[in-house]
Structures are given as structure tokens and as C-alpha cells.
Structure 1
Amino acid sequence: MRCVLLFLCLFAFAQTADAQQLWTPAELAARPGEERAGRLGTPDPTGPARSEPRLALPPLPQNLRGSIRRVDTGGEKLVALTFDLCELSDQRAGYDGALVDVLRAHGAAATFFLSGRWMRSHPERTLQLMADPRFEIGSHAWTHGNFAVLSRERMREQLDWTQAQYEQARDELEALAAAKGMPEAAAAAPKSIRVFRFPYGRCRPEALEMLAGMGLAAVQWDVNTMDAGKRAPEAIARDVLRLARPGSIVLAHGNGNGHGTAKALESILPELKARGYRFVTVSDLLASGRAVTSHECFDSRSGDTALYDAIFGEGVTHPRRGRRE
């Protein structure tokens, strides 16, 4: 029995090591200034090379329909850390490599919700996240569209384009892994995205119904780091440690919109581990218990994200100067 366990441990280590051997430690590490975002002179409305995904997922089971707030794990101390990497059509968002470095240093699993356009503008970083077996990739729509405002056709476009871009990235990951003689390094990346996060935390019944039909679980959160508000790392860590409970889904940002997130993680990760928590991907969390769902999308109380409709409208571009951002 001891030999079998040793073999399984070595096999798991080899799988992780193979994935990371596609890049050197220096290539994986954070690069100074990479987290900074920039605005484009004019919005870019173009989509991916292929506008429709090849694969179609089966519709969601009834227990995963609706807006998923957290998971009832029966008391098992599991937490899903999630990071949004948003990119609107009038910007090139950043990549917060420092927080990814912290996650890897602690061996912590996490889910990254990527805008499809972010995948296109950050091709190598996308492949690195996909290849890491500790990480899961979710969809954050093509250009961060507001699903409470967009037409049905525009909602479907935001979803399909992101799925198609992911499939293209996965093809590129497979080709890279094969070229380096380690095809198993691409195995960590599923063939299709299965989880989704609504931009602005906004949705409507028609959007939830569309996602359920496409087999995409709509993942909200019950712990918001509020890291986009330029909060001190100590305040972020304090609130996460106070609010996290078994089955929590924690929201943060990895596209440079987060402030102090990496430093906060340096306190959050060891403290939650000391309390007996394990970090899992959203999909693993959903498989561990009963999803706690709502018929609407919100941050901490009903209707509290509705203000973004007036500020951002369809949400794919930033507000004009003089309007609140």
C-alpha cells in the first residue's frame, strides 16, 4: 500500500512538473509593469478568428441553475479563490503576476474568470494559466458586457466568442506541449470552459436561462475583497478572514484592477490553511456539496449592482469623461 501511495504522489508531482516545464521559472514569474492597464484610442469591436465554438456542452442540471452564491459543503472547510481578468473593448488590461506567484508558492488552487478579449491580448499568460493543474479557467464574457442590458443576440455573442477563443488557446497549448515532447502538459486544460461569471455582477432571468442551456454555471460570490477600490492589503485580508466560511467563493481581480491583492494573499493563504481550510477550484467546490443559488445576481444584497446599468450601459466600453466610473 505504501508503494502505491508513493507512486501516486510521484505521478501527481510529475504531472505538475511537466506542465510547468513548458516555461522557465523566469517566464512564469511576474514582470514589472505588466499589471498596468491602458486605454485604446477607439474601441476594438472585432471578435476571435472563429465566432462559434466547436463544442456544445449539455444543459446544466436543475441544481446548478441560477446564480451560485456559495456551496453548502456540510461543514467541510473548502474555499474557492476566484480572480476576474476583465478587458473591455477600449482597453488592454493588465496581468497581476505577483498574485499568481503567491498562489503558486503556496500551492493554492484558484479559478480565473477571463474575458475572451483578455485571452487574445495575453496569449502566453493565458496558456500558462491553462497549463497549471491547480488553476481553472472560467469565462468572463468577451468584452465584459452587461448581461442585464445586452440584447439576446449580443449576450450570445459575448459567450460564444469567449468559448471559441478558449478553444483556440487550448489548440495552441496542445501544439506547444507536443512540440516540447510533453503532450501530457496540456491535459490540465479541459476542452471547454464550464463556469461563467457575470460582469458587473449583473444578470437577468433570460441570461441565467441562456447560460443554463449552454451548460455554463453562473458563479457569483459570497466574499468580495473589494480590491478594485484601492484598499490596503491589511483591510482586504482582515475582511476575507472574517467572512470566509466553509463553501465560500471569494471575489478578487487579477487584471491589474486589484490593489494590494497579492500582498493580502500572503496573509490570507497561510491563515486559512492554519484554520484547516483547503483551496479548491470552483468546479471542485461545486462537486463537494449543494450549490446555494439565487434567482438574481447581486453583491451582498438584492439590487445592489443595478447602479452599473446607468454607469456602464452595455458595459463593453468605459464611461465617457465626466461620467462616474
Structure 2
Amino acid sequence: MDHFYVFSFKKRRRYFTLSLVLLLAAGFFIFQSNILGSNASDEVALTKGSVEEPNIALTFNISWGEEKVHDILDTLKQEEVQATFFLSGEWAERHPAIVEKITEDGHEIGILGYRYKSYVEQDLEEVRRDLFLAQEAFEKLGFEDINLLRTPSGRFNEEILDLAESMGFEVVHWNINPNDWKNPGTENIVDVVMNDTTNGDIILLHASDRVKQTASALETILPGLKSKGLNFVPISELISQAHADIELIE
């Protein structure tokens, strides 16, 4: 009988150890999947923040138009939500007053390239020039330290990530996308965001004139996500938390 119980204890201990190793490995894999890159040592793009904190980032892309953004800003102000706006340099040059309004309302600014043209469809020198033009455009508007970059159309490869890193940019992607630019219906936009959003998520929305349902969807989304215990933070804060997690895991 003694031999039987000793064997059972050792066997259970082996199972427990194996289960623990598998659990840790799964957790590491899930965390790494939140960073887009070919491997852990490569330059990466953030697509999700820390799952340990109930913080999320609401982001907007703007590359053209000047009408819809105002309703969106009004709704954000009413709900006291800070967001991050990724603006194309060309658009910012044409609408400096709106850029000023965005920052006056306490929102964060990121770069969406200069001309809204996919980087993977250009050679690397064209991409470099586009980024320089974007930097110059924002510097002329008084923004000399923007380091957040979302690539036009969200497409990139390892070379683009390397280039962005060498120029001091943090590339920011997303993992919640209701495709509001397609105007799929206010209820559809709300359902996607409310059903899918959880700790650390980055939500992609648009504030260009093509969107016709985003402002009304926000009237439900903003209080709804708050009621789930989620906090809206700027992308820079989400990045800080993600970097802290990377240091902890290493």
C-alpha cells in the first residue's frame, strides 16, 4: 500500500509540473501573439496591450474630410474619453484648426503617413520620404516629438518595421475592427465592439467623412464599455504597460 501511494504522489507531481509548464507556455504564446513581428527579437508593431489591466485604447484614422470629425469629438468630450487620432500629414496640413481642436480636447496624435498610400506598394525609399514629409508637416504645426505611427491601410512588412524603428517610431496596429468605414449599420458597429472588446484591446475606428454611423455608435459604445469596467487610455499608456510586460517575461 505504501508503495502505491508514493507512486501515485510522484505521478501526480509529474502531471502537475507538466500542466504548469504547458500553462506558462500557452500564456507566453498568447502574449507574443499580441505583438506583430517575425520573432521576438525583431522590430514589432503593437496590436494589443496588457491583458492584466482593464485598459483599452480607442483610435481613429483620418485621411480626408472635415465634417464627421466634429460630431465624434463632441461625443468623446461628453463622455470624457481620451482617444488617439492617427492623422495623415497631408490632411493635417489642410486642417490645422481641427488638429488643434483634437489636441485641445486632450487627445493624443499619431502619424498616418503623409499621403494615404499603402507602404507595401511602394519601395523603401518612397516610404522613407513619405515618413519624412509627415514629420515635417507635423513639425510645422508645432508637433516635434510624435513617435506613434500607423501605416496607411495598416499594411506593413519586416522592412517597413525596421525602417520605422530606425526613425524612432512605434508602429501601432489594432485588434478590434468593426469596419465602420463600410457603414455596416450603427447596431453592427456597436455589436462588434461591445462583444469583442476586453483588457488591452486597441479599437480601430475612423473619423473621415466617409463614415456616417460612427458618431451615433459611439453614443452606445463609450458608456457601454465603461459599464464593463474598461478604462480608455491613450496608446502611449498602453505601450508603456505592454513594454513592462515584455521586461517581466524576459
Separation of aligned partners in 2, 1:228 and 1:132: 24
Q: 1:68 aligns with which of 40, 46, 69?
A: 46
- 2:31 corresponding residue in structure 1: none
Q: 1:117 aligns with which of 71, 90, 97?
A: 90
CA RMSD, 1 decimal? 2.1
**Does the aligned pair in 2 maintain the 1:65–1:218 contact within 8 Å?**
no
Q: Deviations over 1:37-74 (max 9, x none)?
A: xxxxxxxxxxxxxxxxxxxxxxxxx8893121111241
Q: 1:140 aligns with which of 108, 112, 131?
A: 112
For 2:62, the aligned partner's letter is L
Q: 1:212 aligns with which of 155, 159, 165?
A: 165
- 2:55 corresponding residue in structure 1: 78
1:235 shift after superposition? 0.9
- 1:233 corresponding residue in structure 2: 186
For 1:67, the aligned partner's letter is A
**Does the aligned pair in 1 maintain the 2:58–2:204 contact within 8 Å?**
yes
Structure showing greater radius of gyration is 2
- 1:199 corresponding residue in structure 2: 152
Separation of aligned partners in 2, 1:63 and 1:217: 15
The answer as to 2:138 corresponding to 1:166 is yes
**Structural mapping, 1:244-255, within 5 Å:** 244-255=197-208
Separation of aligned partners in 1, 2:45 and 2:235: 13
For 1:71, the aligned partner's letter is G
The answer as to 2:154 corresponding to 1:154 is no
**Does the aligned pair in 2 maintain the 1:71–1:292 contact within 8 Å?**
no
For 2:105, the aligned partner's letter is D
The answer as to 2:220 corresponding to 1:270 is no
For 1:139, the aligned partner's letter is I
SS in 1 for 2:237: helix
For 1:226, the aligned partner's letter is N
- Aligned in 2, Cα 1:193/1:125: closer, same or farther, shift over 3 Å? same
**Does the aligned pair in 1 maintain the 2:68–2:211 contact within 8 Å?**
no
More helix by share: 2
Q: Deviations over 1:217-258 (max 9, x none)?
A: 111100002101111111101110111010000001011122
For 1:228, the aligned partner's letter is W
1:289 shift after superposition? 2.9
Q: Deviations over 1:291-313 (max 9, x none)?
A: 999xxxxxxxxxxxxxxxxxxxx
Separation of aligned partners in 2, 1:288 and 1:208: 21
Q: 2:71 aligns with which of 98, 101, 106?
A: 98
TM-score, structure 2 length as denominator? 0.77
SS in 1 for 2:121: coil
**Does the aligned pair in 1 maintain the 2:89–2:113 contact within 8 Å?**
yes
Q: Deviations over 1:60-102 (max 9, x none)?
A: xx8893121111241x111100000014xxxx66552111110
Separation of aligned partners in 2, 1:216 and 1:287: 14
**Does the aligned pair in 1 maintain the 2:58–2:234 contact within 8 Å?**
yes
1:120 shift after superposition? 0.9
Gap runs ≥5 in structure 2: 1-39
Separation of aligned partners in 2, 1:168 and 1:159: 14
1:126 shift after superposition? 1.0
**Structural mapping, 1:289-300, within 5 Å:** 289-290=242-243
SS in 1 for 2:49: strand
How many residues matched?
A: 207
Gap runs ≥5 in structure 1: 1-61, 171-189, 294-325
1:202 shift after superposition? 1.0
Separation of aligned partners in 2, 1:95 and 1:166: 22
Q: Deviations over 1:259-303 (max 9, x none)?
A: 31011110011111111111011111111234999xxxxxxxxxx
